[in-house]
Amino acid sequence: MLLASLTMLSLALAPAPDTTFTVQRGERLELSVQNGDITVRAWNRNAIRVETSGDEAAIVRRRGSVIGLDSESRRRGDDVDFVITVPAWMDLTLSGVNTGIKVTGSEAAISAETVEGDVEVDGGNGVISLQSVDGEVTLAHGRGNMTLGSVNSDVTVDGAVGRLAIEAVNGEVRLRNIDSDDVDVNTVNGDIGYDGPIRPRGRYHFVTHNGDITVSVQEGVDAVVSVSTFSGDFESDFPVVLGRGNQGKRFSFTLGTGSAHLDLESFQGTIRLTRPGSTSRSRR
């Protein structure tokens, strides 16, 4: 009995199967799973290390410049978690069904898509596409052309540089420490918050049906601001001068020289302009 117990304990503590192999620049990784999580980390070696929760090492297939991963456990329909360490320069294409996806440290293009699960990325450079149906989507420190979306949860971006396009249905969109001159955000049932400089000649478009919009506007900004709401309100932390005939639910005004364009639309939510770091709310 004691020997059997020690054997079971040894099996429980045994490490997951481990496969390590070399790669060269220009190759990219593709992985698609049905059930199980994907975790990707970056290092400075020209090699990939793959650990799985199955009872065997990963299967590696090369098709030209594409490296594909699989496992016998996944083929049998079992849940398999993948923990992968890749070169920071390697492009990633990751997808799943009942799958959480997490990527950290990447300096390359990333495509991550799942149905049931969160997508969480810290890093990425180039074309970044993150999508989930029933899960949160989070991006930190991404750079490049970024497209994010979630149907039934929130989207959060922090410290991103570059173009941002975000689509949500039932979820909030939170944008913090953004450096971009091209931002397009649409959600149906959720608030939108934006914190970042309004760049000269930039284009910023924020639309929600059932939610508030809060935009941080720095001192001395140059922008034409267009506001549209049906049954909501407009509030500003600083004085706004409206022209004649511009007093209804759809109006525009100019700050500074008006080189940037800031379009704000909410059907039945409050549209609010705040100073950076301000939490006060004052009516127009």
Predicted confidence (pLDDT) at residue 11 exceeds the cutoff of 60 = no
Residue 73: predicted pLDDT: 66
Task: Return the pLDDT at 44.
Answer: 97
pTM here is: 0.88
Per-residue pLDDT of 132-141, as tens digits, reads: 999 999 999 9
Choice between 17 and 175, residue whose per-residue pLDDT is larger: 175
Q: Show the tokens assigned to 77.
A: 């329909």
Instruction: Please say if the pLDDT value at position 3 is more than 80.
Output: no
**pLDDT of 58:** 81
Position 48 scores a pLDDT of 97
DSSP state of 220: T
> Quick check: 12 pLDDT over 80?
no
Give CA separation, 217 vs 114, 211, 225, 276, in Å. 35, 19, 11, 6
Q: Between vectors from CA 186 to CA 184 and to CA 191, what angle results, nearest 5°?
A: 115
Q: Residue 4: pLDDT above 50?
A: no
**pLDDT one-digit tens code per residue, 74-98:** 666 678 899 999 999 999 999 999 9
Q: Read off the tokens for 102.
A: 């997490």
* Whole-number Å distance between alpha carbons of 236 and 221: 14
- Mean pLDDT of all residues in 229-238: 88
> Between these two residues, 59 and 212, which has the higher pLDDT value?
212
pLDDT digit string (tens) for 159-182? Answer: 999 999 999 999 999 999 999 999
pLDDT at 47: 97
Higher-scoring residue by pLDDT: 277, 126: 126
188 pLDDT tier (thresholds 50, 70, 90): very high
Exposure b/e, 28-66, CB count within 10 A at least 16 = b:
bbbbbbeebbbbbebeeeeebbbbbbbeebbeeeeeeee
Residue range 240-260, pLDDT digits in tens: 877 555 555 889 999 999 999
**pLDDT of amino acid 204:** 98
pLDDT tens column, 18-60: 789 999 999 999 999 989 999 999 999 999 999 998 766 788 9
